[in-house]
Chains A and B, each alone.
Chain A
Amino acid sequence: MALTGLDIFKLTPKKNCKDCGFPTCLAFSMKVAAGAMEIEKCPYMSDEALEKLSEATAPPMKALKVGNGDCEFKLGGETVLFRHEKTFVNRNRFAVMFTDELSDGHIEAKLDNIKKVNYVRIGEDMHVEIAALKYMGDKDKYVNLVKKVKESGVSLAYMLICEDPNVLQEALELVKNENPIVYGVNNENYEAMVNLVKDNKLPLGLKCEGIEELYNLVEKVQGLDYKELVLGTEGPTAKETFKNAVQIRRMALKDQDRKFGYPSVVFANELAKDNKYMEVAMSSLFTLKYGSIIVLEDIDYAKALPLFALRQNVYTDPQRPMRVEPDVYPVNGADENSPVLVTVDFALTYFIVAGEVERSKAPTWLAIPDAGGYSVLTAWAAGKFGAMSIAKFIKESGIADKTKSRKLVLPGLVAVLKGELEDELPDWEIVVGPEEAMHLPKFLKQLSQEEAANA
C-alpha cells in the first residue's frame, strides 16, 4: 500500500523546523512518499505515526550495505523496472571468483588482475568490487584462501560462498568485521546460517533449485526475523536464470511483494562455461536486467572496458546528464602547434567529438568549458555556452601558453557566436567548424593543410 505525500504530511508535526534537512514538512513528506528519504529523518514523529508509516513507506526493494571502509557500497534499493520511469539507483557490482581449488599462483594472478584493472571513467572509479570466495570441499585450503585474499591488501568486499556453517564459522572469524556477504543458505541449513550472521547483521545469500522454492525459503528466513538478504538466481540454464532475475525484480517492484525485495546474485562465469565472450554477453544482459552482483571468472581490460562503460551508462540518472570535467584536453598528442577546438561538457557530445577528432589523427586541443552539462544548442539557448563564457574559459584555462596556434574552432551549430567571440578574443582567429561531428576528420585535415601551406 503506497501512501501519498499528503497522507504522510498529516502525520508530521507540521512545524517546518527544517531539522530533517528540508525547508518544509510537506517537502519532506513528498520525498518520503517518493521513497527517496526515510521517515526516521524527522525526529519529531510520534511512535504511533512511525509504526503506521514504516510498513507503508518501506521501499519495495531493500537497499543493503555490503563491505566496509573503502569498499563499502549499497546494493538494491531500486524503485523502477525501466530506467526512464525514474532512474536506477545503486549500480550492479562485479565480483571475481576464487575457490579453494586454485593454486597459490593462480590466486595471486587473479588478485594482480584485479589490481591492474583500476581506472577512472567520467569521474567514476572502475574496478572489481567483490571477491567471491567459493568453498569446494577443502576446509583448510578455504580458510587459507580467505586469509590470502584478505592479506593481499587489495581493496575488496567479500562474498563467502559456502553451505557448511562449520566451515563458514572459521572463515568468518577472519572477515566478519568487513561486512561480507554470506552466500549459501538453503532449506537445510537456514537456521544455523541465520545464527551465524545475526550478531553482525551480515548480508545473507539464499539459493534454491527453483524460484518458488526460493520464495518459500525467503519466507522461512524472514520468519526468523532476518531481513538482510541477497537472492541467488541460479537456474540450470541461462534462460532459467534470466527468468529468475526478472521475476524477482518484477514481483518486488511491480507486485510489491517484499519477499523478493532484495538484491540478486548472478554467476555469469558459470553460465559462460569457460567462454570469455559468452561471459561478457551474459554480464551485459544481467547488467541491464536486474543482476545486483555479477560474478566473473577473472578480469582484464577487454572485459572491463565495455562492461563498466555499459554499467555507467545504464545507471546514469536520466534527469541528470553525465558531464565531463571542464578542462583543456590534448587529443592525438596535441602540442604547441595544434589548433583548439571548443565544445560543451555534456558527456555524450564530448565523447562523440573526441572520438571523431581521434579518428582524424590530427593533434588537437579540446577545450571544454562549463556549459551546464547540456548539448551545444541547448547550452547556447540556456545562456551557458556564449561568447562571454567561452572567451573567459579560453583566457583562464591557460591554453594560450600551451599552443602557439591561435585558431579556435567553434561548433558549426553556434556559428552565430563568431563575431562576438572575435571581439572578446582579438588574438584568436575564430574558425567555424562543421555542424555534425562526423565531418570533423575532413575538416581538421583541411585545417592542418591550410596551416602547413601558410607556414
Chain B
Amino acid sequence: MAFKMSVQEYKGKINEVEIGKGEKAIKLGGQQTLAFYDFDGDTGNSQKIGIEITDVYPEEWVTGLKEFYGDAAKNPAEWAKFVEEKLNPDFICLRLQGADPNELDKSPEECAEVAKAVVEAIQLPLVIAGTGNHEKDAKVFEKVTAAVEGYNCLFLAATEENYKSVGAAAGLAYGHKVGAESSVDINLAKQLNVLLDQLGVKYEDIVMHIGCSAAGYGFEYLVSTVDRIRLAALAQNDKTLQMPIITPVSFETWGVKETIAEESDAPDWGDREERGITMEVTTATSILSVGADAVIVRHPKSLETMKDFVCQFA
C-alpha cells in the first residue's frame, strides 16, 4: 500500500469574532480544522494570548509579579498601559474582583469608571471579567457595558442565571461581544448559546467560555468537552456550537496546591513563581491544543512562551 496522507475535511466552520477597535483589534476563530491541523485545511486566525490585570491591588499574587508591576498595579489604567507597552499581549483582561460581594463589594458605578479609564488608556482589545457572582455581575455589567460603549469589548460572562441582563446589555444595547459561560458540559454550552440567540444576541457576537480547571484538577472533562464541541461544530456543522472559545487559564491555575504552596511548605518543589508559570503554560497549551481560540494568563513568562508556541504553528 502506498503512503497517503490522512486528510479530514469538515463542512463546518468556527465563526470569526472580532474584539477591540482599530489596528489592534483581534479576530478569533474562522477555522475549519482542529487546532494546529493545517494539513486538514484552513486553520483560521491564530490563537490569541491575553494578560490578566485586576481592578484592585493583587495582594495574593506571587512576589515576583508584584515587584515586576510595582506601583503600576495600584492603578488599573496605568497597569493596563504598562502591560500594553512592556508586554504587548494580544489583548488585556480586566478582572473586576473588587466588585465581589464577599470582598470589597464595589458599586457598579465604580467598576464602570475603572473600566472606562482602562479602555481609554490602551489600544489593545479589552476583555472584561466579572466576579463570578452571577447576580452582582449582571448589575456591574449593566453599567460597565454602557461606560465602554464603542470599544467592542468581550464580557466574561453571561451564565444561565444572568444571561438575560448580561446578554441584553453587552450583546444588544451597547454592541459588545458576549462571553457565554457554562460549566464543562457540551449540552449546557449549547443551551446557553440557544438562549442567547432567542434573546436576540447574534451567534457571531458570542464567544464561549466553557469552563476552566488547572491541569490535574478534572482537566480531562475540559479536554473532552472541547473535543466534543469542536467535532460537533466542524463535522456535524452544528451552528449552535460554532463559536470561538476563550479560556481564562490564570483564574484557575494560580489557586491550586501546586502553585500556592510556598517554598517553605514544600522545599522539594522549588520556586513558587516557577511552578506558577509551568502550571499556567501546561494548562494553556493543553486547552489551546484541543481547541481554545484564546487564553488568559497572568505571568509575562507564560505570555512569552505561549506567543512563541502559537507562532511556531502559524
Residues of A within 8 A of B (CB): 82-84, 116, 121, 211-212, 215-216, 237-239, 242-243, 246-247, 250-251, 254-255, 257, 259, 275, 277-278, 280-285, 287-289, 300-303, 305-307, 309-310, 312-314, 316, 318, 347-348, 351-352, 354-355, 358-359, 438-439, 442
Contact = CB atoms under 8 A, between A and B. Distances in A.
A277 B38 CA distance: 24
Nearest to A309: B216
Contacts of B6: 247, 250-251, 254-255
B277 interface: yes
B305 A277 contact: yes
B270 interface: yes
Given A280-B278, A284-B281, A305 B258 contact: yes
Contact of A116 (B224, B268, B286): B268
Contacts of B82: none
Given A242-B36, A277-B301, A302 B274 contact: yes
A359 B260 contact: yes
B271 A302 contact: yes
* Size category, B interface: 35 or more
Contact of B286 (A288, A305, A355): A288
B105 interface: no
A302 B275 contact: yes
B253 to A, nearest CB: 8
A313 B132 contact: no
A239 B304 CA distance: 18
Given A281-B309, A284-B281, 15 more contacts: A84-B224, A216-B3, A277-B278, A277-B304, A281-B305, A285-B285, A288-B223, A305-B278, A306-B258, A307-B278, A313-B223, A314-B219, A351-B256, A352-B218, A439-B102
A82 B224 contact: yes
A303 B214 CA distance: 14
9 contacts: A82-B231, A281-B282, A281-B305, A281-B309, A305-B216, A306-B214, A306-B281, A307-B282, A313-B215
B309 A121 contact: no
A84 B279 contact: no
B215 A238 contact: no
B285 A281 contact: yes
B236 to A, nearest CB: 14
Nearest to B231: A82
A347 B218 contact: yes
Contacts of B224: 82-84, 318
B269 A302 contact: yes
Given A255-B6, A285-B285, A306 B215 contact: yes
A285 B289 contact: yes
A110 to B, nearest CB: 16
B216 A246 contact: no
Given A239-B312, A277-B277, A302-B274, A351 B282 contact: no
A331 to B, nearest CB: 10
A278 B308 contact: yes
B313 A238 contact: yes
B220 interface: yes
B290 interface: yes
Contact of B282 (A306, A354, A359): A306
B104 interface: no
Nearest to A257: B1
Contact of B36 (A239, A283, A359, A442): A239
Interface in B256-314: 256-258, 260, 268-271, 274-275, 277-279, 281-286, 289-290, 301-302, 304-306, 308-309, 312-313
Interface in B22-58: 36-39
B279 A306 contact: yes
Per DSSP, chain B at the interface is helix
A241 to B, nearest CB: 10
B207 to A, nearest CB: 22
Contact of A301 (B223, B255, B269): B269
A260 B65 CA distance: 46
A251 B220 CA distance: 24
Contacts of B221: 348
B116 interface: no
A211 B8 CA distance: 17
Nearest to B304: A277
A302 B215 contact: no
B282 A284 contact: yes
Contacts of A359: 255, 260
A257 B228 CA distance: 25
Given A277-B302, A300-B270, A351-B217, A288 B281 contact: no
Contacts of A348: 217-218, 221
Contacts of A347: 218
A215 B218 contact: no
B238 interface: no
Contacts of A254: 6, 8
Contacts of A278: 305, 308-309
Given A83-B224, A305-B258, A305-B278, A246 B271 contact: no
A310 B215 contact: yes
A211 B3 CA distance: 9
A268 to B, nearest CB: 11
Nearest to A288: B289
B266 to A, nearest CB: 8
A302 B278 contact: yes
B221 to A, nearest CB: 7
The 9 residue pairs across chains A and B that have the minimum distance between CB atoms? A309-B216, A306-B282, A348-B218, A310-B215, A84-B224, A313-B220, A284-B285, A277-B305, A215-B3
A254 B220 CA distance: 22
Contacts of B197: none
Q: Which of A259, A301, A305, A355 has the most CB of B within 10 A?
A: A305
Q: Which of A216, A282, A301, A359 has the most CB of B within 10 A?
A: A301
A309 B258 CA distance: 10
Contacts of B78: none
Q: Which of A82, A83, A438 has the most CB of B within 10 A?
A: A82
A173 to B, nearest CB: 37
A355 to B, nearest CB: 6
Contacts of B306: 281
Nearest to B184: A348
A309 B215 CA distance: 6
Contacts of B215: 284, 306-307, 309-310, 313
B216 A313 contact: yes
Contacts of A275: 305, 308
A320 B255 CA distance: 26
